[in-house]
Amino acid sequence: MEITLLTRAGCSNCTRALATLRPICADFDVVLTVTDVDAAATDDPELRAEFGDRLPVVLLDGREHSYWDVDVDRLRADLTRNG
């Protein structure tokens, strides 16, 4: 399993989401990738177009899991179920 956090530079909610995700990923030994949608726009403009207006976005195995806030309880339940 892999968690991707879609972010934007200077986004304080994104910084909080990352701080929330790090210990969860460590608890479940899950890879955490952070992708800045603006920096990635040259290679993947659809990423920013789809998610750029509701950051941060948490993707679990490439599928949207939550946005604006990390749904900690649901994420832990999904990681337990799929782990």
Q: Which residue has the higher pLDDT, 46 or 57?
A: 57
Q: Which residue has the higher pLDDT, 49 or 75?
A: 75
Domains and CATH numbers, the chain: 2-82 (3.40.30.10)
Q: What pTM does this model have?
A: 0.92
| Average pLDDT over every residue of 13-35 | 96
| Average pLDDT over every residue of 39-48 | 85
Token pair for residue 37?
Answer: 């949608």
Residue 48 has pLDDT above 90, yes or no: no
Tell me what percent of the residues of the chain surpass a pLDDT of 90.
76
How does DSSP assign 12-70, residue by residue? HHHHHHHHHHHHHHHHHT-EEEEEETTGGGGT-HHHHHHHTTS-SEEEETTEEEEESS-
Tell me what percent of the residues of the chain surpass a pLDDT of 70.
99
